[in-house]
Chains A and B, each alone.
Chain A
Amino acid sequence: MTPVISGAADTAVGRLDGSGCMALHAEAASAALADAGLRADEVDGVLCAYSLAEPHLMLSSVFNEYFGIAPSYSAAVQAGGATACALVMQAAALVRAGICRNVLAVCADNRLTGLGRSGAVAALAEVGHPQFERPYGMSIPAAYALVARRCMHERGVTAEHLAAISVTQRGHARRHPKAQARDPLTMEQALSARMIADPLRLFDCCLVSDGGAALVISAADAAADHTDRTVSILGYGQMNTHEHAFAMPSLTDFGCRQSAAQAFAMAGLTPADIDVAEIYDSFTITLLAELESIGFFPKGEAGPAILDGALELDGVLPCNTHGGLLSYGHSGAAGGMFHIVEAVRQLRGEAEARQVAGAETAFVHGDGGILSAHCSLILGRA
């Protein structure tokens, strides 16, 4: 059975006082099911991610119980920032195999009110190796700063190239009424902001947010009974090269190269065919390194192109049109799912003030760990 995305939705994002992790899951799930025109009892597959604020060994079972459903297939997946894309890939495989007709993929966390910014930073630092990284005071920004420094050394990346990413994406977020960070941001502000892990400054780092998002992946014939707003899943791929920062095989070239190549081969497309890109941007350097590894720009050329407006809504590769993790919001695995929801909206022509004219193909990418786990999706207008 051909899988399609039949529903997509997200909750409010930012500081959601009084929000709970499971309530955010349920709110996103209900909205995605409504978007797909499905009742909850028509869901026969549930895929969840993980929560830092309310961790549980079996989060999908916790969700099913809370939401009041009993799907025949259910699993929780943990691949960091690659999780949301991996959920879509897994859901598509379940539909193709005939195991499920309607898979609900749902991610949420209340990191900002549940942990606080310092709590989230400390909790995330625990991904560091318990013997060979954590005793040295590694943080997630520090690990990505190691990548940034090496990309500066080898590829000529500059602080201005990185700042141009945060400024571009802030411009996009300012066109999105739900984005968490909507204040104007100038190059000067980005370049003079407080240093977090040299060379990464405050605006090079993603937000910490509460929020959730959900998708429904259905067999095309099942979806046809309920909605005419489906999005095609044209291709997908994964690559997993390491986990810890000290084990990175390269600090300038990453597994997104292979995951994207698989997705493009399946879709029969090339990077030049992509109308809009929603690419994981936990840090500015994450996006820049991925743009070059994937092949959207030759080595050393992404930075100058970005300074030249390449990622603007009318640029050669409109990118992170909702503002991304840097300005829209980042609530755990839901952060990566916001990218997919935005791609769906662009392909349906529902992106309002930030709509990319004539968007028919979208590339979405998630990366987890320290550019460790990669999953790429290529979506198309139905």
Chain B
Amino acid sequence: MSTTDPSLMKPAPLVTADTRAFWDACAEGALTFQRCAACGHVQFPPRPFCTECRAAGPGTERSAGLGTIHSFTIVHRAPTAAFKADTPYVLALVDFDEGFRLMVNLRGGPPSDARIGLRVRVLFEPLAGGGALPQVRPLVE
């Protein structure tokens, strides 16, 4: 089977005007989030206003890329054929230290390494069509 079979293509992030700067930063190895200058609220994903106080234009900051697994699952039944070869893989919700949450895959070890409370560090996986996808691996102190 050809590797360009569209059913085997993983869905690339569908970038919007709200998120173009975020994905551009990922391509350069930086994980960014927003903090509202008016009220201090931290939010993700990016949008042109603060969801807490409605102030316009929250500022963009660079995350240190360190976080903690809030919950995880080991996926055995892939949602589409594109992910079948990856099974079993870890899907996790990671709370980054600055106060925002991402869904990611845990890389850099067997799925059995996953546990709630595990400290992780962001890494960037190249996307087939260019750009990069933030993922995490266990943080080794």
Contacts and interface: CB of A to CB of B under 8 A. Distances in A.
B10 A135 contact: yes
A138 B70 contact: no
Nearest to B105: A136
B71 A153 contact: yes
Contact of B93 (A130, A199, A246): A246
Contact of A198 (B11, B23, B76, B127): B76
Given A132-B45, A146-B71, A153-B71, A121 B79 contact: yes
A149 B116 contact: yes
A130 B103 contact: no
B72 A149 contact: yes
B71 A149 contact: yes
A257 interface: no
Contacts, number: 108
A197 B12 contact: no
B103 A133 contact: yes
Contact of B15 (A129, A131, A137, A197): A131
A142 interface: yes
Contact of A139 (B78, B92, B101): B78
B103 A245 contact: yes
A155 interface: no
A197 B73 contact: yes
B77 interface: yes
Nearest to A154: B116
B133 A137 contact: no
B51 to A, nearest CB: 10
Interface residues of B, number: 37
A75 interface: no
A141 B102 CA distance: 18
B91 interface: yes
Contacts of B77: 121, 139, 141, 196-197
Contacts of B101: 246-247
A251 interface: yes
Interface in B100-137: 101-105, 116, 127, 133
B52 interface: no
Interface in A10-29: none
Interface string A139-176: 11110011111100100000000000000000000000
B99 interface: no
Contacts of A196: 76-77
Given A149-B72, A150-B116, A197-B75, A135 B13 contact: yes
Contacts of A145: 73, 75, 91
Contact of A131 (B14, B70, B86): B14
B76 to A, nearest CB: 5
A139 to B, nearest CB: 4
A381 to B, nearest CB: 41
A194 interface: yes
A35 B92 CA distance: 48
A137 B72 contact: no
A280 to B, nearest CB: 20
Contacts of B93: 146, 245-246, 251
B89 interface: yes
Interface of B: 10-16, 19, 23, 45, 70-80, 82-83, 86, 88-89, 91-93, 101-105, 116, 127, 133
The 9 closest A-B pairs by CB, nearest first: A145-B73, A125-B79, A139-B79, A137-B83, A198-B74, A131-B13, A150-B71, A130-B14, A246-B103
Interface of A: 121-122, 125, 128-142, 145-150, 153, 194-200, 245-247, 251
Given A122-B79, A137-B10, 7 more contacts: A135-B127, A136-B105, A149-B73, A197-B76, A246-B93, A246-B101, A246-B103
19 contacts: A122-B80, A129-B103, A131-B23, A131-B45, A132-B103, A134-B11, A137-B75, A139-B77, A141-B77, A145-B75, A146-B72, A146-B92, A194-B76, A196-B77, A197-B75, A198-B76, A199-B73, A245-B103, A246-B93
